[in-house]
Amino acid sequence: MGYKYQRLDKDNAVVLLVDHQAGLSSLVRDIDPDKFKNNTLALAALAKYFNLPTILTTSFEDGPNGPLWTEIKDMHPDAPYIARPGQVNAWDNEDFVNAVKATGKKQIIIAGIVTEVCVEFPTLSALEEGFEVFVVSDASGTFNQITREAAWNRMSQAGANMMSWFNTACELQRDWRNDVEGLGGLFSKYIPDYNNLMNSYFTLKGKN
């Protein structure tokens, strides 16, 4: 049997932001910390732009892991927020799994800290239950490239789709004609060089 393209569908996707916590952020060393935060906030923003159900979760936030980033909370004030009391794998928390399943979506877009634990473990668990999983690699961070590559390999071999926040947005959009200025504005906010493209577009349209 040939390859089957698992294409993201904005009507069938849920976003899981796992353990983007103040303390855990200090562990991220496989990507520039500022770029990592920018990428994560871009993912949170695209979830809002596409009106995707979004679930937030933290691990042992009363301990050294610390609280969820306030920027994410502020962007999704009404999202289900699961503060796990101790479960390392978010999928071991019944409230979290119930929140995911309550959306009725079969595609999971996931990112978190750290990649080989907080992203990998729920990804493997969700794949085992029949979900299609899309791991946003540049909004997930860990100690170093060795641990990152090991996690990417294990997840991709299990059937996960390895993504970036940018190609996630593009795959969800499908067609530029759906909303040029809306998506272009989102890109421009998180990719400064994208302003050049939008300025050219506005000049062409006589909007500058």
Q: How many residues does the chain have?
A: 208
- pLDDT beyond 90 at 24: yes
Q: In this structure, are residues 62 and 22 in contact, taking their beta carbons and an 8 Å threshold?
A: no
Residue 1, pLDDT > 80, answer no
Mean pLDDT over 148-162 rounds to 98
In the numeric block, which tokens belong to residue 9?
């569908």
**CB-based burial label for 144 (10 Å; 0-12, 13-18, 19+):** exposed
User: Where do the structural domains in the chain lie, given as residue ranges?
Assistant: 13-174, 178-208
Give the amino acid at 19. D
Average pLDDT over every residue of 28-55: 98
At residue 187, what are phi and psi to the nearest 5 degrees? -60, -40
| CA distances for 16 relative to 37, 69, 111, 192, angstroms | 16, 14, 7, 26
**φ and ψ of 57, to 5 deg:** -145, 150
Q: What is the pairing mode between strands 132-136 and 13-18?
A: unpaired
**Other C-beta atoms lying within 10 Å of the C-beta of residue 175:** 6
Active site annotation includes 118: yes
What kind of fold does domain 13-174 have according to CATH?
Answer: Rossmann fold (3.40.50)
What is residue 84's predicted lDDT score, i.e. its pLDDT? 97
Which of 15, 118, 183, 186 is catalytic? The answer is 118
Classify residue 69 by its DSSP letter: P
Q: How confident is the model at residue 4 (pLDDT cuts 50, 70, 90)?
A: very high
Q: Which amino acid is at 20?
A: H
N- to C-terminal Cα distance for the chain?
52
